[in-house]
Structure 1
Amino acid sequence: MSERRRPATRTDHENFCITEGWAERKRATGKRGTHHVNYEFALPDGRILYTRISHPVDRTGHGPSIWSHILRDQLAVTAEEFWACVEDKVLPDRQELQVPAETIPVGIVRVLIVEAHVPEAQVQAMTKAEAIQRLAEFYTTGR
């Protein structure tokens, strides 16, 4: 069960962005916007998160509905991760993108599944070398 916390303020929101290393977005002219402070953050998976904090950045709180939207859609963290970052400077665990060491080219996958009628699950379990071997077998024997 999560502990009861005070509502998050605009200052907390900005402290989170600063602590995690978000970059402040400026207008094309290089100036800050007049109504919001905008931040962006590039994730390891290639997505870019955007958040905006209304002026003035102060102790004004966010309503529960807007706050859940900010956490989920703009900051992409849980409330626990947010507060750990703001209060204890613990950065959220943003997993590095795991790229498979060796992938099977899509053309080989297509031929094995569509033409050689190898079940998709079996193809997914193959290494690249096994897939190439199976493709060579299909081309030489027709099976």
Structure 2
Amino acid sequence: MTWPQPTRQLHEKFCTVEGWDRVRDARGRTGTHHRTYELHLRDGRVLRTRVSHPVDRTTYGSRIWAHILRDQLDVKAAEFWDCVQDGVRPDRGIPETPAESLPLELVHLLIHRVGLTEAEVAAMTRDEAAGRLSRFWAEGA
């Protein structure tokens, strides 16, 4: 697939959309402005990228862009463009929050009192789980 020419502006937009923290700004001797971003991942790694804003260049060459994608952003090109163009954040292995979760005490009782497996409890809705526990108590077990 062919994508637009990568720019520093799009690099920064990626960081903003994915929720990277801006940790440092610097101005060099030549007046070049650098913005440093970090992203803390659940596995303990910290990704770091720096967006430079030189006066005369707005696009990246192919070699530096490949390095940025691979070593700094840790994404494939398609993931980068999905994020920048459509707001789709890269899958970093962060589990989705279930729409409806069961209270911990209910889960504990279903597993340790009723004798259900974790998989059985995980497949239940809140109403199903409460009903199952109510039946257990009503049967006098």
Fold match by TM threshold 0.5: yes
Deviation per CA, 1:81-101, whole angstroms, max 9, x where unpaired? 00000000000000149xxxx
1:78 corresponds in structure 2 to 76
The runs of 5 or more residues in structure 1 that have no matched partner are 27-31, 98-143
Tell me the CA shift for residue 52 of structure 1.
Answer: 0.3
SS of equivalent residue, structure 1 residue 33: strand
The runs of 5 or more residues in structure 2 that have no matched partner are 28-32, 96-141
1:40 corresponds in structure 2 to 38
Output the aligned Cα RMSD: 2.0
What is the 5 A alignment of 1:1-143? Answer: 3-26=1-24, 32-34=25-27, 35-56=33-54, 60-96=58-94
Identical aligned pairs, as a percentage?
Answer: 54
CA distance in 2, matches of 1:19, 1:58: 26
The structure with the greater share of residues assigned to strand is: 2
Preserved contact between residue 11 and residue 57 of structure 1 (Cα < 8 Å): no
How many corresponding residue pairs?
90
Moved over 3 A (4+): 56-59
CA distance in 1, matches of 2:83, 2:75: 10
CA distance in 2, matches of 1:93, 1:58: 34
